[in-house]
A and B are shown apart, each in its own frame.
Chain A
Amino acid sequence: MRTVIFETAIKLLLPLFIAFSLFLLFRGHNSPGGGFIGGLLAAIGLFLRAMVFGTKNTIATYKIRPIGIIAIGLSVALVSILIPLFSGLPLMTGLWFDLTLPLIGKLGTPLMFDIGVYIVVIGVVLNITFILSNG
């Protein structure tokens, strides 16, 4: 489906998709949103790009396959739950920094965990859609 209109549109839309999905991810702790929803949105955006430019092109551009994305996401989540162990606290204790960043909000291990969820969801959705569309 390589048409000029689509290509131009998706080039403009994809950054918006990603930005909005990140926005949903970071606001999740206090308002509606979160890693799962954000991940779904980002995945839909990336998939639209793949539909226009082809999956091979997309994988080549980002230099990572969906399975690899899943692995990264799971590792991020895993590391986030292991961090408290180094402070002598039980697994998965939520640790927060006192630092508050604009737009992102407070930083802490639950947020890192949510980022892991975000990445896994992107990986899973892209994994399935890429194979189906590739054939």
Chain B
Amino acid sequence: MLLIILIGLIAAAVAATIHRIDNNRAGIWLSILPLGIFIWGIAHLNSVLLNNSIIEVYPWVDSICLSLTFMLDGLSLFFVLLVSGVGFFIFIYANSYLHNDPNKGKFLTYLSLFMTAMLGIVMSGNLLILFIFWELTSLSSYLLIGFYSAEEESRKSALMAMLVTVSGGLFMLAGIILLGIEAGTLELDQLLANPTLLLNNAKAPIIAVLIMIGALTKSAQFPFHFWLPNAMAAPAPVSAYLHSTTMVKAGVFLLARLSPVFVNVPIWQSVLVHIGGITMVFGALMALMNTDMKKVLAYTTISALGIMVLLLGIGTTISVQAAMVFLLAHALYKGTLFMVTGNVDHETGMRDLNLLSGLGKRMPYTFYAGALAALSMAGVIPFFGFVAKEILYGAAFDTPLVSGIVGVATFLTGVMFTALAFEFGYKIFMGMQAETPKHPHEAPFGMILGPIVLATFGLIGGIFSEQIAQPLLHQSSSVILNVDKVLQLGLWHGFTLIFALSLLTLLFGYGVFKVRQHIRAFSTKLSLSNLPGPEALYFKSIPALLQVAIKQTMFFQSGILRNYLTTIVLTLVSLIVAISIIGGDFSVIGLSKTIQVKWFEVVFIVLMIVGVVNTLTTTSRLTAIVSLGVVGYGTAAIFLYYGGPDVAMTQFLIETLTIVLFVLVLNRLPKFVDMDKRLSKRIAFPSVIFGATMSTILLWVLSQQMNSPLKDYYSQSSYLLAKGKNVVNVILVDFRGIDTLGEITVLGIAAIGIYALLKVKFSKS
């Protein structure tokens, strides 16, 4: 499985080159990748159905529970087949959709990366690895949504999608780390094998909430839903892929994956049921209010994801099975409808449900696919959507506790879905042909292949649901929950209450379709869409955040050197004072040892004092520089005397360099004026306090008995272990070599920074 990920990444790397070689068929060539993965998945179907999950482990960093583990069980395989199967058609579709776009190569790179990341999520066997792929989908979806980067709308939407999902991802990371600390492992097979791991853990609710935030932002659940409708700025193939099997389904996948771990944590269930339920109804309502085809579909996706989250939250056998069945049905019809929308948009230049009609004659194949998908969405017998709707209603009315509310809400959502299905499958294709910006004709072969195959599969999958879908869906729901009943799919279960409800849904749905204009007019009158929501909060918080950043930067980065020094010095001093109040013992301070002062030391110190005084009082900058140099050389001489030749040598060289540098910039500096009295007092305060503190510390250190084993260790092992007699140098290049590496890297970066700053400044003046 690692191989698949690597091949995917390589494909992403060479996609642009393939595009350069074979401009017209690059997407076709790349579609071999998902096709191959799909075949690979089918090849493993039998062993997975026999409950043999495949696990690949490549140990990595044990200390943080990180290993490259990949896992293929029922749930993973279900998603692998979905992602690669739909992905195959998306690549072919994109190839035609971006036919003449010079950036097609770039697009295919992003798309390959996105698909690989999604496959990585579903095949991860370690939560940290999963997180990495999780963030990779956020990143690559940012690139995909913002593909038309010349348009501001695109960039804004892409940024929004990334900020929302990535900030959710950060919560999730916190949850994963906490889970790792509490459970002692992040390996999924171990977590899933011990479902009682977090049973009595006090931190379990916190972990559950943190991980749920990650999943719910990704799956566009209320109140984080707003990024998804905006993401329609992406090209049609991206939308089709993002909504049907990837990205937003990742959140659902994660909830399903971790259900066994959290099923006993009460908050898990209640949050999922509430959020899912609200999102389900809210999304369907919003879908009905809009007329932009892409926006409508986006809200129905939000609603459908709400249904899945709700079902996973209910957590009964039938509800988990219903979640998987509905997920498949939704992936098939939503992928199709987005591609159909793409075709309509591509061929007519518009996508307003109110204005479009009569396209059926001009675009017969698109009509065929759209109609089949809409029938499945509406849940008409014998489509797979019908099978899904039956089991969905079954699960909703079988909910413990609040079955009534959940049932009614699900029914209402079903009605609204049906009404919208009429719009997509019927309204825009039938009747008089409407005026459109472009003269419509059928889309090219690549753009009708995917919709037709997926929509047809929605039909065949419905008729032969028992043979095609049942085994794998059963297996994948058994991974989520220890199911007590084998999944039974079929078209006919007799005249039950559920069947009656299905019929009623169709009837009511048609009714809503007929009166939809009144509903829309009514909602416009109420101006529901102008209500402040989470989206408004997002748009307020981003500039606010920038303002805070600007303010705090202005505050700390005043650009005046003495302010920086004052900050550093005062912080240091207050820290030292705080520490000595807590634990310092200053009774020992004093010149306990009688210090023998040699005559040349006195000479050096007198010279240094003269240098300091001279620096402070002189009116000439050159004198000040030279006086400072005297202080520096004096210090170096003392180092030399006390047995630090390396330090002394460095000090000498640095002093020399400093003077050279000063000479260089001397004629560039402003006039050297005497500071006025107030300013010099302000500077005097931190200087004196700093000097006093450092003197006290030094005296204190000198009066302590130094018993550090480090000194002995270094001097003993320097030659034995590192073959060097100069301990200072051995520490620098060997014992603490990684520090030195960091330092020289920082030096290099600083040099580049200085280069940029000075070059700009000088070229200006």
Tell me, in angstroms, the Cα distance from A113 to B660 when the chains sit together: 28
* Interface membership of B741, Cβ < 8 A: yes
A28/B729 in contact, CB under 8 A: yes
**A30 contacts chain B at the CB level, 8 A cutoff:** yes
Any B CB within 8 A of the CB of A70: yes
- The answer, among A81, A92, A114, for a CB contact under 8 Å with B729, is A114
Q: Interface segment, B73-81, B322-330, B375-383, B643-651?
A: B643-651
Q: For chain B residues 641-682, which have a beta carbon within 8 Å of chain A?
A: 645-646, 649-650, 653-654, 656-657, 660-661, 664-665, 668
CB neighbours (8 Å) of A102 from chain B are none
A41 touches B748 (CB 8 A): no
Are the CB atoms of A32 and B645 closer together than 8 Å?
yes
Q: Determine whether the beta carbon of B729 is less than 8 Å from that of A33.
A: yes
Tell yes or no: A10 within 8 A of B by CB: no
B744-765 interface (Cβ within 8 A of A): 744-745, 747-748, 750-752, 754-755, 758-759, 762
A94 partner, pick from B661, B668, B723, B762, beta carbons under 8 A: B723
Q: How many Å lie between the Cα of A45 and that of B445 in the bound state?
A: 71
Proximity bits, A1-42, B CB within 8 Å = 1, else 0: 000000000000000000000001000111111111100110
Residue contact A29 to B744, C-beta cutoff 8 Å: no
**A29 and B758 in contact (CB under 8 A), knowing A41-B653, A77-B744, A113-B737?**
no
A44 within 8 A of B: yes
Q: Tell me, yes or no, whether B438 is within 8 Å of chain A by CB.
A: no
- B-facing mask of A103-135, CB < 8 A → 1, else 0? 000101011011011001101110111011111
Is B497 in contact with chain A by the CB < 8 A criterion?
Answer: no
Chain B residue contacts of A70, Cβ below 8 A: 747-748, 751-752
Q: Does B725 contact A (CB under 8 A)?
A: yes
Q: Which of A40, A78, A127, A128 contacts B653 (CB 8 A)?
A: A40
Residues of B within 8 Å of A114, CB to CB, are 729, 732-733
A32 touches B723 (CB 8 A): no
Residue tally, chain B, CB below 8 Å to A:
41
A127 contact from B664, B740, B741, B751, Cβ within 8 A: B751
Which one of A34, A74, A120 contacts B733 once the chains associate, using CB atoms below 8 Å? A34
- Chain B residues with Cβ below 8 Å from A67 are 751-752, 755
Looking across the interface, which residue of chain B has its beta carbon closest to that of A74?
B748
How far is A118 from B729 in the complex, measured between Cα atoms in Å? 13
Q: Are B650 and A40 in contact (CB under 8 A)?
A: yes
Say yes or no: is B734 at the interface (Cβ < 8 Å to chain A). Answer: yes
- Do A29 and B729 contact each other (CB < 8 Å), given the known contacts A73-B744, A81-B741? yes
The answer to the question of B728 belonging to the interface, with a C-beta cut-off of 8 Å to chain A, is yes
Residues on the A chain within 8 Å of B740, using CB: 113, 117
Q: Are A131 and B758 in contact (CB under 8 A)?
A: yes
* A29→B730 contact, CB < 8 A: yes
Determine if B695 is an interface residue (Cβ-Cβ < 8 Å).
Answer: no
Chain B neighbourhood of A127, CB < 8 A: 751, 754-755
Chain A residues with Cβ under 8 A from B657's Cβ?
40, 43-44, 125
Q: CB-CB contacts of A71-96 with B at 8 A, as 1s and 0s?
A: 10110011001000000000010101
Task: State the CA gap A70–B646 with chains docked (Å).
Answer: 23
Given A44-B653, A117-B744, CB of A129 within 8 Å of CB of B646: no
- Asked, given contacts A66-B751, A133-B664, whether A29 binds B726 with beta carbons under 8 Å apart, the answer is yes
In contact, A120 and B748 (Cβ under 8 angstroms):
yes
A77 and B741 in contact, given A32-B646, A124-B751 (Cβ under 8 angstroms): yes
Are A128 and B754 in contact (CB-based, < 8 A)? yes
Interchain CB contact under 8 A, A132 and B758: yes
As a 0/1 sequence over residues 275 to 299 of chain B, the CB contacts with chain A under 8 angstroms (1 = contact) are 0000000000000000000000000
B754 partner, pick from A40, A110, A131, beta carbons under 8 A: A131
- Complex Cα distance, B727 from A33, in Å, reads 11
Q: How far is the CB of A45 from chain B (nearest CB, A)?
A: 11
- Is B534's beta carbon under 8 Å from chain A? no
Q: A32-B726, A92-B738, A108-B723 are in contact. Are A117 and B733 (CB under 8 A)?
A: yes
Q: Given the known inter-chain contacts A70-B748, A92-B738, A120-B747, please indicate yes or no for A44 contacting B646, CB distance below 8 A.
A: no
Number of A residues near B (Cβ < 8 Å) is: 49
Shortest beta-carbon distance from A48 to chain B in Å:
8
A77 CA to B755 CA, complexed, in Å: 22
Contacts of B434 in A (CB 8 A): none
- B364 interfacial contact with A, CB 8 Å: no
| Alpha-carbon distance between A132 and B748 when the two chains are bound, in angstroms | 17
A134 proximity list for chain B (CB < 8 A): 762
One of B660, B723, B733 near A35 (C-beta < 8 A): B733
Q: A29-B723, A125-B657 are in contact. Are A94 and B734 (CB under 8 A)?
A: yes
Q: Which residues of A contact B10 (CB under 8 A)?
A: none
Given A92-B737, A114-B729: A47 touches B649 (CB 8 Å cut-off) = no
User: Which residues of A have CB within 8 Å of B36?
Assistant: none
The listed residue (A28, A124, A128) touching B748 by CB distance below 8 A is: A124
Query: Which residues of chain A are within 8 angstroms of B748 by Cβ–Cβ distance?
Result: 70-71, 73-74, 120, 123-124
Contacts of A66 in B (CB 8 A): 751
Q: Is the CB of A36 within 8 A of B650?
A: yes
B739 nearest CB across to chain A (Å)? 11
Q: Quote the shortest CB–CB distance from A131 to chain B (angstroms).
A: 5
Cβ–Cβ < 8 Å partners of A37 in chain B: 646, 649-650, 653
Is A44 a contact partner of B645 (Cβ separation < 8 A)? no
Say if the beta carbon of B431 comes within 8 Å of chain A: no
Query: In angstroms, how far is the closest chain A Cβ from the Cβ of B698?
Result: 24
Residues of chain B within 8 A (CB-CB) of A24 are: 649
Verify if B722 is at the interface (C-beta below 8 Å from A).
yes
Known: A40-B653, A124-B747, A125-B657. A34 touches B729 (CB 8 A): yes
B742 to chain A, nearest CB (A): 11
- Residues of chain A within 8 A (CB-CB) of B223 are none
Q: Which residues of A contact B728 (CB under 8 A)?
A: 32, 34
| Chain B nearest CB, measured from A117 CB (Å) | 6
Question: Is B184 located at the chain interface by the 8 A CB criterion?
Answer: no
B724 interface residue (CB < 8 Å to A)? yes
Name the CB-closest residue of B to A24.
Answer: B649
Residues of A within 8 A of B750 (CB): 124
Chain A proximity of B633: nearest CB distance (Å): 15
Q: Give CA–CA (A135, B668) in the complex, Å.
A: 9
Query: Beyond A32-B649, A74-B748, is A81–B732 a contact (Cβ under 8 Å)?
Result: no
With A44-B653, A131-B754 already in contact, the answer to whether A94 and B732 are too (CB < 8 A) is no
CA distance A73 to B747 in the complex (A): 11
What is the bound-complex CA distance between A84 and B732, given in angstroms?
18
Q: Are A128 and B661 in contact (CB under 8 A)?
A: yes
Chain A contacts for B660, CB-based, 8 A: 44, 47, 129
A–B complex contacts, Cβ < 8 Å, 15 sampled? A29-B726, A30-B725, A33-B729, A34-B732, A44-B656, A47-B660, A73-B748, A92-B734, A92-B738, A106-B723, A110-B724, A117-B740, A120-B747, A123-B751, A129-B660
The 8 A-B residue pairs with the shortest CB-CB distance in the complex, in nearest-first order: A32-B645, A29-B724, A30-B725, A40-B653, A34-B729, A124-B751, A120-B744, A127-B751
* Given A32-B649, A74-B745, A123-B748, 14 other A-B residues pairs in contact with their CB atoms under 8 A: A29-B723, A30-B724, A40-B654, A66-B751, A77-B741, A92-B737, A108-B723, A110-B724, A113-B737, A116-B744, A117-B733, A121-B744, A129-B664, A133-B664
